[in-house]
């Protein structure tokens, strides 16, 4: 049986945080199938396969399910960044692990679990642009459209969600709870 609520014990803060079920596994998978179909159609006449670049760690399940939902050849690579946010909205993104693929004259597709402030994706677009790919597309499963300060819109997204903290399906709270098959939203 699916848990409708999920309680997180934050041992540092010594408090319990309640999360409610938000997007069910079935609906996540349905949406991924439709994104998979779209990208297969959009890239099917490519001379060279697109390179999917997953943003670790959150992209883990999404990237895997997305690739399985496509019907074209794709290459893949991964990048890891960390973003620091002070009290103001201006944050700083730091590169932790870069890709190893050569992206010159290739179509690349960045795969994100969630776009929140948009800082990470803006940083990544600039980072990859300096290596002259033919094109850069952006896929995100979740999109906090209200608050994100995106320089451009993502090309593909799963769900537009409100500005609330979510966990599960790769998304973490203090590095935990990524394993959950459904996505849960904080109870406020
Ligand atoms: P950004 O604010 O768009 O740069 O978001 C960067 C990263 O913050 C995302 O890739 C996630 O790893 C993390 N993040 C943002 N919002 C959430 C959330 O609601 N739950 C879990 N992680 C989040
Ligand atoms: Mg992430």
pLDDT, tens digit, 9 for 90 and up, residues 112-165: 999 999 999 999 999 999 999 999 999 999 999 988 787 789 999 999 999 999
**Can you give the pLDDT at residue 9?**
86
**Can you give the pLDDT at residue 109?**
98
**Can you give the pLDDT at residue 13?**
80
- Atom 12 in ligand 1: residue holding the nearest Cα: 58
Is the pLDDT reported for residue 44 higher than 80? yes
Give the Cβ contact number of residue 72 at 10 Å.
Answer: 15
DSSP H/E element including 137: strand 135-143
Q: Which tokens hold the place of 9?
A: 């014990």
Is the pLDDT reported for residue 1 higher than 70? no
Task: Tell how far the Cα of 80 is from the centroid of ligand 2, in angstroms.
Answer: 8
Model confidence at 11, pLDDT cuts 50, 70, 90, reads confident
Instruction: Return d(Cα 144, Cα 102) in angstroms, integer.
Output: 31
116 is catalytic: yes
Model confidence at 85, pLDDT cuts 50, 70, 90, reads low
Alpha helix locations (H) across 93-132? 119-129
Q: Which tokens hold the place of 121?
A: 């994706």
DSSP H/E element including 76: strand 75-85
**Can you give the pLDDT at residue 86?**
53
- Atom 15 in ligand 1: residue holding the nearest Cα: 116
Task: Tell how far the Cα of 60 is from the centroid of ligand 2, in angstroms.
Answer: 10
Instruction: Return d(Cα 38, Cα 22) in angstroms, integer.
Output: 24
- Atom 5 in ligand 1: residue holding the nearest Cα: 116
Is the pLDDT reported for residue 88 higher than 80? no
Query: Do 163 and 151 contact (CB within 8 A), yes or no?
Result: no
The residues spanned by each domain of the chain are 26-85+93-163
Query: Do 68 and 46 contact (CB within 8 A), yes or no?
Result: no
Instruction: Return d(Cα 181, Cα 175) in angstroms, integer.
Output: 16
Task: Tell how far the Cα of 33 is from the centroid of ligand 1, in angstroms.
Answer: 23
CATH topology of domain 26-85+93-163: Rossmann fold (3.40.50)
Angle at 126 between CA 76 and CA 119, to 5 degrees: 95
Q: From residue 118, how far is each of 13, 45, 138, 153 by CA, in Å?
A: 28, 30, 12, 10
Instruction: Return d(Cα 179, Cα 168) in angstroms, integer.
Output: 6
């Amino acid at each position: 049986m699916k848990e409708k609520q999920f309680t997180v014990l934050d041992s540092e803060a010594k408090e319990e945080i309640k999360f409610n079920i938000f997007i069910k596994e079935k609906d996540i998978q349905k949406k991924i199938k439709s994104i998979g179909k779209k990208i297969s159609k959009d890239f099917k006449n490519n001379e060279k396969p697109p390179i999917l670049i997953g943003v670790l760690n959150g992209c883990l399940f999404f990237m895997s399910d997305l690739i399985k939902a496509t019907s074209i050849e794709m290459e893949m690579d991964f990048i890891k960044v960390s973003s620091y946010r002070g009290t103001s909205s201006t944050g700083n993104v730091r590169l932790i692990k870069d890709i190893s693929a050569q992206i010159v004259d290739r179509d690349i597709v960045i795969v994100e679990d969630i776009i929140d402030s948009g800082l990470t994706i803006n940083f990544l677009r600039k980072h990859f642009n300096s290596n002259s790919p033919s094109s850069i597309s952006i896929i995100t499963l979740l999109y906090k459209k209200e608050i994100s300060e995106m320089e451009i819109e993502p090309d593909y997204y799963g769900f537009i969600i409100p500005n609330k903290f979510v966990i599960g399906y790769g998304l973490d709270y203090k590095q935990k709870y990524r394993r959950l098959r459904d996505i849960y939203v904080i109870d406020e």
